[in-house]
Amino acid sequence: MALRAVPLSLTSSLSGASFFQHFVLEENMLEVDCPCVTPEIVLKASGHVDKFTDLMVKDEKTGTCYRADHLLKDFCNEKLQKDLSISPEKAAELKRVLAVLDDLSAEELGAKIKEYGIIAPDTKNPLSDPYPFNLMFQTSIGPSGLSPGYMRPETAQGIFVNFKDLYYYNGNKLPFAAAQIGQAFRNEISPRQGLLRVREFTLAEIEHFVDPENKAHPKFSDVANLEFLMFPREEQMSGHAAKRIPLGEAVSRGTVNNETLGYFIGRVYLFLTRLGIDKNRLRFRQHLANEMAHYAADCWDAEIECSYGWIECVGIADRSAYDLRAHSEKSGVPLVAQEKFPEPREVEKLFINPVKKELGLAFKGNQRMVVEALEAMNEKEALGMKDTLESKGEMEFYVCTLEKNVTIKKNMVTISREIKKEHQRVFTPSVIEPSFGIGRIIFCLFEHSFYMRPSKAGDEQLNVFRFTPLVAPIKCTVFPLVQNQQYEEVAKVISQSLTTAGISHKIDITGTSIGKRYARTDELGVPFAITVDSTSSVTIRERDSKDQIRVNVERAASVVKEVTDGRTTWAVVWSTFPHHSSGSADE
Task: Give 204 or 352: the residue with its C-beta nearer to a copy of itself.
Answer: 204
Q: Torsion angle, CA of 512/515/517/520, rounded to 10 degrees? A: -130
Least distance in angstroms from the C-beta of 275 to a copy of itself: 17
Task: Give 24 or 314: the residue with its C-beta nearer to a copy of itself.
Answer: 24
* Rounded alpha-carbon distances, angstroms, from residue 242 to 279, 300, 419: 13, 13, 51
- Which residues have CB under 8 Å from 233's CB, separation 6+? 286, 287, 288, 289
Task: Give 32 or 415: the residue with its C-beta nearer to a copy of itself.
Answer: 32
Task: Give 5 or 419: the residue with its C-beta nearer to a copy of itself.
Answer: 5
Task: Give 273 or 504: the residue with its C-beta nearer to a copy of itself.
Answer: 504
Least distance in angstroms from the C-beta of 266 to a copy of itself: 17
Please give the DSSP secondary-structure letter assigned to residue 60.
T
Q: Give the separation between CA 13 and CA 20, rounded to whole angstroms.
A: 10
Least distance in angstroms from the C-beta of 432 to a copy of itself: 19
207 touches 433 (CB < 8 A):
yes
Q: Are strands 476-480 and 505-507 parallel, antiparallel or unpaired?
A: parallel
Task: Give 105 or 139: the residue with its C-beta nearer to a copy of itself.
Answer: 139
Q: Can you say how many angstroms the Cα of residue 353 is from the centroid of all Cα atoms in its chain?
A: 45
DSSP states of 310-369 as a string?
A: EEEEEEEEE-TTHHHHHHHHHH-----EEEEEEEEEEEEEEEEEE-HHHHHHHHGGGHHH
User: Which residues does residue 505 pair with via DSSP β-bridges, in sequence order?
Assistant: 476
* Rounded alpha-carbon distances, angstroms, from residue 367 to 250, 333, 354, 381, 394: 51, 25, 10, 20, 17
208 touches 431 (CB < 8 A):
yes
Task: Give 190 or 416: the residue with its C-beta nearer to a copy of itself.
Answer: 190
Q: Largest Cα–Cα distance in the chain?
A: 104
- Exposure letters 378-409 (e unless 16+ CB within 10 A, then b): eeeebeebbebbeeeeebebebeeeeeebebe
Q: Give the separation between CA 518 and CA 565, rounded to whole angstroms.
A: 23
Collapsed DSSP state (helix, strand, coil) of residue 408: strand
Least distance in angstroms from the C-beta of 195 to a copy of itself: 12
Least distance in angstroms from the C-beta of 564 to a copy of itself: 12
Least distance in angstroms from the C-beta of 516 to a copy of itself: 13
Which secondary-structure segment (H or E) carries 278? none
Q: Give the separation between CA 475 and CA 478, rounded to whole angstroms.
A: 10
Least distance in angstroms from the C-beta of 342 to a copy of itself: 15
Please give the DSSP secondary-structure letter assigned to residue 567.
S
Task: Give 16 or 384: the residue with its C-beta nearer to a copy of itself.
Answer: 16
Least distance in angstroms from the C-beta of 582 to a copy of itself: 25
Task: Give 36 or 462: the residue with its C-beta nearer to a copy of itself.
Answer: 36
User: Which residues does residue 57 pair with via DSSP β-bridges, in sequence order?
Assistant: 66
Least distance in angstroms from the C-beta of 453 to a copy of itself: 24
Least distance in angstroms from the C-beta of 572 to a copy of itself: 16
Task: Give 64 or 273: the residue with its C-beta nearer to a copy of itself.
Answer: 64
Least distance in angstroms from the C-beta of 326 to a copy of itself: 15
Q: Give the separation between CA 121 and CA 336, rounded to whole angstroms.
A: 51
Per CB under 8 A, residues contacting a copy of itself are: 1, 3-9, 11-12, 16-17, 20-21, 24-26, 28, 30-39, 42, 56, 63-65, 133, 137-144, 149, 151, 157-159, 161-162, 165-166, 180-183, 185, 187-189, 199-200, 202, 499, 502-504, 506-507, 565
313 touches 436 (CB < 8 A):
yes
Task: Give 24 or 245: the residue with its C-beta nearer to a copy of itself.
Answer: 24
Least distance in angstroms from the C-beta of 443 to a copy of itself: 14
Task: Give 291 or 565: the residue with its C-beta nearer to a copy of itself.
Answer: 565
Task: Give 4 or 294: the residue with its C-beta nearer to a copy of itself.
Answer: 4
Which secondary-structure segment (H or E) carries 559? helix 553-564
- Residue closest to 587 by CA, chosen among 520, 527, 497: 520
Task: Give 38 or 531: the residue with its C-beta nearer to a copy of itself.
Answer: 38
Least distance in angstroms from the C-beta of 543 to a copy of itself: 20
Least distance in angstroms from the C-beta of 36 to a copy of itself: 6
Q: Give the separation between CA 23 and CA 264, rounded to whole angstroms.
A: 10
Task: Give 4 or 82: the residue with its C-beta nearer to a copy of itself.
Answer: 4
Least distance in angstroms from the C-beta of 272 to a copy of itself: 20
- Residue closest to 10 by CA, chosen among 355, 324, 508, 445: 445
Q: Can you say how many angstroms the Cα of residue 486 is from the centroid of all Cα atoms in its chain?
A: 51
- Which residues have CB under 8 Å from 397's CB, separation 6+? 370, 373, 374, 385, 405, 406, 407, 408
* Rounded alpha-carbon distances, angstroms, from residue 511 to 17, 480, 520: 34, 9, 14
User: Which residues does residue 350 pair with via DSSP β-bridges, in sequence order?
Assistant: 417
